């Protein structure tokens, strides 16, 4: 089976027996996810699900970064086709991960924010390095992220979810374990070995029964209001949020005093 075209040179596909690994590799932008990278992760999930020989997918990052969320600098052209321009928020992989019939494992090697946090929460099992840091700073950029609103409170509770969303509070790996963002935290040098062990354990579960149980567990999540999300992404606050990020200044809504 040839390696699939994930649509972005910043995603590396590696097959290890019956398990596919996708590495997020964009060190020059700290692994910020372009629309094509989001779409490529979604395509990887679909590839594994429709493969007759692959049994699971592992998503991980490189260096000290897992995924910091979406690209804020507008540098999205990493292939001949701009999937974001074609599909809008349809490029996002979150529902594909949530609904994947085959297990998706997040191996969180470092900084994990925004869209990376959603990938982590929606994976079947998330293992984190002790170096990992977690956050959801979208409101600082003017984005009302409906996925976070639906998913995050179910993991950490409403009070901590509000704290993370409204104040951009970051959680350490141990705090993430305590509050339920991840299932396991291990020393950094043991992350790959622990990930391999988790994948092997998950694949010992009966596939049909596992899918049925996943459906029941994931039903706890709230509905994702895509209309609100799309309206927010098209709003003036997002434009100002992204401009202020590029200009390295506070957004205009922050009081001067």
Q: pTM of the entire structure?
A: 0.95
Distance between CA 19 and CA 60 in Å, rounded? 13
Using DSSP, state whether 133 is helix, strand or coil.
strand
Domain range enclosing 216: 11-190+201-247
The CATH number of whichever domain residue 168 belongs to comes to: 3.90.226.10
Q: At residue 80, does pLDDT exceed 70?
A: no
Residue bearing tokens 């690994």 = 21
CB 76 within 8 A of CB 82: yes
In-domain check, residue 89: yes
Is 1 a domain residue?
no
Residue 254 lies in a domain: no
Average pLDDT for 38-63? 97
pLDDT given for residue 1 in this prediction: 67
Q: Mean pLDDT in the chain?
A: 95
Residue 146 has pLDDT above 70, yes or no: yes
Domain count, the chain: 1
- Which residues lie below 8 Å from residue 96, measured CB to CB, with a gap of 6+? 42, 45, 46
Residue 255 in any domain: the answer is no
pLDDT > 90? residue 55: yes
pLDDT score of 14: 98
C-beta of residue 45 within 8 angstroms of C-beta of residue 124: no
pLDDT digits (tens, 9 = 90+) for 108-120: 999 999 999 999 9
As beta bridge partners, residue 43 has none
Question: Is residue 71 assigned to a domain?
Answer: yes
Q: Is residue 257 part of a domain?
A: no
Residue 102 pLDDT: 98
- Residues 195-254: tens digit of each pLDDT: 999 999 999 999 999 999 999 999 999 999 999 999 999 999 999 999 999 999 999 999
Q: Is there a domain that residue 183 lies in?
A: yes
pLDDT greater than 80 at residue 121: yes
Note the pLDDT of residue 74: 62
With respect to residue 2, please indicate whether it lies within any of the assigned structural domains.
no
pLDDT in tens, 4-20: 999 999 999 999 999 99
Q: What is the pLDDT of residue 206?
A: 98
Q: Is 74 left (phi over 0), alpha (psi -120 to 50) or beta?
A: left
């Amino acid at each position: 089976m040839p390696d699939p075209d994930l649509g972005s040179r910043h995603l590396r596909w590696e097959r290890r027996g019956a398990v596919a690994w996708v590495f997020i590799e964009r060190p020059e932008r700290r692994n910020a996810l372009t629309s094509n990278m989001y779409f490529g992760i979604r395509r990887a999930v679909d590839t594994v699900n429709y493969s007759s020989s692959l049994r699971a997918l592992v998503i991980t990052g490189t260096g000290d970064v897992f995924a910091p969320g979406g690209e804020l600098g507008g540098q999205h052209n990493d292939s001949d086709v701009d999937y974001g321009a074609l599909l809008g928020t349809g490029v996002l992989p979150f529902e594909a991960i949530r609904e994947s019939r085959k297990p998706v494992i997040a191996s969180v090697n470092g900084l994990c924010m925004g869209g990376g946090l959603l990938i982590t929460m929606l994976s079947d099992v998330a293992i984190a390095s002790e170096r990992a840091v977690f956050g959801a700073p979208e409101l600082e950029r003017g984005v009302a992220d409906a996925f976070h609103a639906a998913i995050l409170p179910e993991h950490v509770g409403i009070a901590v979810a509000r704290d993370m969303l409204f104040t951009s509070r970051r959680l350490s790996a141990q705090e993430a374990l305590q509050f339920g963002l991840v299932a396991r935290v291990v020393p950094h040098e043991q992350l790959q070995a622990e990930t391999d062990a988790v994948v092997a354990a998950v694949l010992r579960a009966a596939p049909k029964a596992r899918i049925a149980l996943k459906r029941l567990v994931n039903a706890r999540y709230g509905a994702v209001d895509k209309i609100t999300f799309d309206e927010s992404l098209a709003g003036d606050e997002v434009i100002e949020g992204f401009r202020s990020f590029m200009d390295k200044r506070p957004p205009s809504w922050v009081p001067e005093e």
